Amino acid sequence: MAKDAWSRFREKEAQRDEEQKKDLHEQMKRIDPDSQISDSTTTDKILIELLTKCEMMMEQITNLYAMWIQGIERTPPITMRKHLEDLILKIQTAPKPTTNLKFRVTQFQTKYATYKDKWERLIRDVEAGKIFVKRRGS
């Protein structure tokens, strides 16, 4: 018996959701290999854990920028920031089944935009000479 267009659409949508869930599982395992995520873990639990990890990463990046200004770190944390941006892209494309989760993701994106502006302003001020970066041995 031939399937109608809606059933094919629902199947593709379910398959796409399953692929995104699998992708989120892989991301979480890469971030935290010790995390207790099983195959039955729901997407919203994974997203909440990812958001928590990303918030911690934002704080770490802010601290690394402060250490860079003080001369403890040699370079700004650009690679860690790139990794965070990749995770945020994954979070943005993931399905958000509940309104609570949509709100939390939106709130996180706003917070990230604020931090991103702060970090870019800091780099711009260092390049313009407004902020002096201490160097070890100087």
Question: What tens digit of pLDDT does each residue of 80-129 get?
Answer: 999 999 989 888 888 888 898 999 999 999 999 999 999 999 999 999 98
Q: Are 93 and 24 in contact (CB under 8 A)?
A: no
Distance between start and end Cα atoms, the chain: 79
Task: Output the pTM of the full model.
Answer: 0.71
Decide: helix, strand or coil at residue 13: helix
Q: pLDDT of 32-51, one tens digit each? A: 666 665 555 567 788 888 89
The pLDDT value recorded for residue 107 is 94
Tell me the C-alpha distance between 64 and 134, whole Å.
Answer: 14
